[in-house]
Chains A and B, each alone.
Chain A
């Protein structure tokens, strides 16, 4: 009898335990744990400006860092810095400064926090940090950037509309971090390094934001020397996804959530770029920093914030009026033929888009991974399929992956766009062009 009672009570204890776990397991919050810190960068810090073509096989899946290290050992990159070689003391100082500026994944920011919001014992320190930050502001931000410009970068319309929100910037970023954790982190990683659990397994690899450069810009590199996108460009990428890659579209999320995500990505990119840059300088030209590493980090953070704000303020590159809005089919064919001649001639597209992209060679992009010029006979366009998207790609280039910017006359630009748009559809091409692009078997081209 006694034994049976023990069995029953044991089962009840187990059942009660399961109930507790079940109830505790369902938490609505997507927030990162408060104690979680951004990880220190451990992968190689690279600078690549490689224009050499490679006929290679892609590294096997899941070997992102191994492949980069291998290429670095073969001296395929311009500059390689191993974060392991940085003095431990400097590294600790850098990490601390980064945390003062950018907070933690659960409480992200882009500037030192208000002393009133700092934990009790740390108010004095927070006051000092803020003072240092503010003293460096005017000198490093640029006079064209106002406080509103920065607010625009890191707030969303929903938060701004709510009267109860005390600090729209950190509220937006905190919400962005929750959304990021849910939708993006598993590929793009906690630090935005493109090294989340699934990151290494997809090709092309998810974007690593920590270099502060992006591919799909509606401004030109000439206009924005920093190569930063507009916040609106990031939002569009989120909305539409990137066809032909693993980046899905998030167009069904409400607009303010997309804004929150874009703001958080800007935050991650800022943090990553300051870290990237400081590591580069620490390894190669330490004198530039002097004896105040913290000040250097703060200065860089402000400078990059200014760059982001400047890019977002910028009007997109305005194309010349499209001359073929009411063109006849014959006029369209003529335009496509002219575009074709530009493609194989003056614009030098064939140099990289070999055989219209069917046989493009690999090159290393800014992040040290292998990419190739798009196969334009396929119907997907990563930066968007609208003529204006293709116009922006051609006129501004895709700097991080080696696509150069093209300066062509207005009409030439649109001729080229027309040709690129018609290229995947043989039926859209004039006969002579069609035979060149899609030769029948046995025919030479």
Chain B
């Protein structure tokens, strides 16, 4: 009868193992990677997963086998041992070597993602302010001010953008729970919190950073895939309007037969909308991964990667126009 226990545990462990194998087929796995450095994170993840799986299976097999084999054999006396030096050395040295291996293998990936000195010059800067229970994003109207070509200007630019993150500008565009960037842009984020610890997580980018009260923490990423485009239509007719984009001044203008007008000034009679594929897999999430209070579960947002710079700036300048609404017509321009 006592052998039943080894069967019981054996079956449970086997089931756990099989569920783990089945999980990806039910969608319980990492979401699609869209960042430039995500591949490195995934490789590390799989390497560590492979190692731990191997040792997990090994130890569990030995454990269950030992339960089966050495179950009470009636009247036999136990043998006491004071340990085996060689064995202990072996099982200490192997994990130590493996850990050291992992520690060395991860340096390159970590450095690329987290080292401030390795962060590229930003095409876009966003301030993210966490609070119970939402993410408040702030976008500068002018991203050029933080851009630099020369590495010498890096420190000065960094300080400037950090000061901006800590002190809002009059022109800033505010959005709640929505992170907008464009494809292939180097994005710099400054992460802060108003209250408690939160953890700003972008699963699709394999990126995660805790927010610490009192600290302004930089993050960066570059998304290689887009999931949306900003389309502007005539409010009355629903016809899409033609937009012109000046890549130098970053100004988006509405092209009409009579001439051009800044998009920002036309929100009252235009309707701008984010168009997405509608596929669930293209809903890229922002999540809080630090239990931060009773509504922690609801502290979610969306990552919108625009197809190109033009789409992003159209969204930005349209939002700016909506934020400057002075008429009833403009007040309904954006949800």
Q: State the A residues within 8 Å of B (CB).
A: 1, 4-5, 8, 183, 186, 197-198, 239-241, 243, 246, 248-249, 251-252, 255, 315-316, 318-319, 321-322, 325, 379, 385-388, 391, 414, 421-422, 424-425, 427-428
Q: Given the complex, which residues of A lie within 8 Å of B327, measured CB to CB?
A: 319, 321-322, 388
In the complex, the answer to whether B325 meets A248 with C-beta atoms within 8 Å is no
Interface stretch, picked from B114-122, B141-149, B243-251, B296-304, is B296-304
Docked Cα-Cα span, A387 to B170, in Å, equals: 12
Known: A8-B1, A243-B136, A248-B132. 4 other contacts (CB 8 A): A240-B176, A248-B133, A252-B177, A252-B301
Report if A248-B335 is in contact (Cβ < 8 Å); known contacts: A4-B2, A319-B326, A388-B326. Answer: no
Q: Given the complex, which residues of A lie within 8 Å of B301, measured CB to CB?
A: 252
Q: How far is the CB of A345 from chain B (nearest CB, A)?
A: 23
Which residue on chain B has the smallest CB distance to residue A196?
Answer: B294
In the complex, the answer to whether A183 meets B331 with C-beta atoms within 8 Å is no
Chosen A-B contacts, 27 in total, with CB atoms closer than 8 Å, are: A8-B1, A8-B4, A8-B5, A186-B295, A197-B294, A198-B294, A239-B335, A248-B133, A248-B295, A248-B298, A248-B299, A249-B177, A252-B177, A252-B300, A315-B328, A318-B328, A319-B326, A321-B327, A385-B174, A386-B322, A386-B324, A387-B325, A387-B326, A414-B326, A425-B169, A425-B170, A428-B170
Which residue on chain B has the smallest CB distance to residue A249?
Answer: B176
Q: Is B123 an interface residue (CB 8 A)?
A: no
Interface residues on B, range: 20 to 34
Which residue on chain B has the smallest CB distance to residue A246?
Answer: B132
Q: Given the complex, which residues of A lie within 8 Å of B131, measured CB to CB?
A: 248
Q: Given the complex, which residues of B lie within 8 Å of A414, measured CB to CB?
A: 326
Docked Cα-Cα span, A163 to B181, in Å, equals: 40
In the complex, the answer to whether A325 meets B302 with C-beta atoms within 8 Å is no
Q: How far is the CB of B250 from chain A (nearest CB, A)?
A: 20
In the complex, the answer to whether A325 meets B295 with C-beta atoms within 8 Å is no
Q: Is B50 an interface residue (CB 8 A)?
A: no
Chain B 160-175 interface 0/1 with A at a Cβ cutoff of 8 Å (1 = within): 0000000011100010
Within 8 A of A (CB), among B170-226: 170, 174, 176-178
Docked Cα-Cα span, A319 to B132, in Å, equals: 34
Chain B 139-160 interface 0/1 with A at a Cβ cutoff of 8 Å (1 = within): 0000000000000000000000
Docked Cα-Cα span, A428 to B302, in Å, equals: 32
In the complex, the answer to whether B294 meets A325 with C-beta atoms within 8 Å is no
Q: Given the complex, which residues of B lie within 8 Å of A379, measured CB to CB?
A: 168
Within 8 A of A (CB), among B292-318: 294-295, 298-302
In the complex, the answer to whether B170 meets A251 with C-beta atoms within 8 Å is no
Q: Given the complex, which residues of B lie within 8 Å of A255, measured CB to CB?
A: 335
Q: How far is the CB of A386 from chain B (nearest CB, A)?
A: 5
Which residue on chain B has the smallest CB distance to residue A11?
Answer: B8
Q: How far is the CB of B283 from chain A (nearest CB, A)?
A: 10
Docked Cα-Cα span, A5 to B1, in Å, equals: 7
In the complex, the answer to whether B323 meets A385 with C-beta atoms within 8 Å is yes
In the complex, the answer to whether B1 meets A186 with C-beta atoms within 8 Å is no
Q: Given the complex, which residues of A lie within 8 Å of B5, measured CB to CB?
A: 8
In the complex, the answer to whether A325 meets B133 with C-beta atoms within 8 Å is no
Q: Is B113 an interface residue (CB 8 A)?
A: no
In the complex, the answer to whether B326 meets A391 with C-beta atoms within 8 Å is yes
Q: How far is the CB of B195 from chain A (nearest CB, A)?
A: 9
Q: Given the complex, which residues of B lie within 8 Å of A246, measured CB to CB?
A: 132
Give the most central of A4, A198, A251: most B CB within 10 Å.
Answer: A251
Docked Cα-Cα span, A316 to B331, in Å, equals: 10
In the complex, the answer to whether A183 meets B298 with C-beta atoms within 8 Å is yes
Q: Given the complex, which residues of B lie within 8 Å of A428, measured CB to CB?
A: 170
In the complex, the answer to whether B335 meets A388 with C-beta atoms within 8 Å is no
Q: Is B229 an interface residue (CB 8 A)?
A: no
Which residue on chain B has the smallest CB distance to residue A232?
Answer: B332
Docked Cα-Cα span, A276 to B300, in Å, equals: 37
Q: Given the complex, which residues of A lie within 8 Å of B253, measured CB to CB?
A: none
The 3 A-B residue pairs with the shortest CB-CB distance, nearest first, are A322-B326, A249-B176, A248-B134
Q: Given the complex, which residues of A lie within 8 Å of B2, measured CB to CB?
A: 4
**Among the listed A4, A241, A388, A425, which residue makes an inter-chain contact with B1, where contact means beta carbons less than 8 Å apart?**
A4
Docked Cα-Cα span, A379 to B322, in Å, equals: 18
Docked Cα-Cα span, A318 to B330, in Å, equals: 12
Q: How far is the CB of A184 from chain B (nearest CB, A)?
A: 10
**Among the listed B170, B299, B323, which residue makes an inter-chain contact with A422, where contact means beta carbons less than 8 Å apart?**
B170
Which residue on chain B has the smallest CB distance to residue A323?
Answer: B326
Q: Given the complex, which residues of B lie within 8 Å of A387, measured CB to CB?
A: 324-326
Q: How far is the CB of B78 from chain A (nearest CB, A)?
A: 18
In the complex, the answer to whether A251 meets B335 with C-beta atoms within 8 Å is yes
Chain B 221-263 interface 0/1 with A at a Cβ cutoff of 8 Å (1 = within): 0000000000000000000000000000000000000000000
Q: Given the complex, which residues of A lie within 8 Å of B325, measured CB to CB?
A: 386-388
Docked Cα-Cα span, A5 to B136, in Å, equals: 60
Q: Given the complex, which residues of A lie within 8 Å of B133, measured CB to CB?
A: 248
**Among the listed B4, B265, B295, B330, which residue makes an inter-chain contact with A388, where contact means beta carbons less than 8 Å apart?**
B330
Docked Cα-Cα span, A325 to B303, in Å, equals: 33
Q: How far is the CB of A433 from chain B (nearest CB, A)?
A: 14
Docked Cα-Cα span, A252 to B302, in Å, equals: 8
Q: Given the complex, which residues of A lie within 8 Å of B265, measured CB to CB?
A: 325
Q: How far is the CB of B140 from chain A (nearest CB, A)?
A: 14
Q: Given the complex, which residues of A lie within 8 Å of B4, measured CB to CB?
A: 8
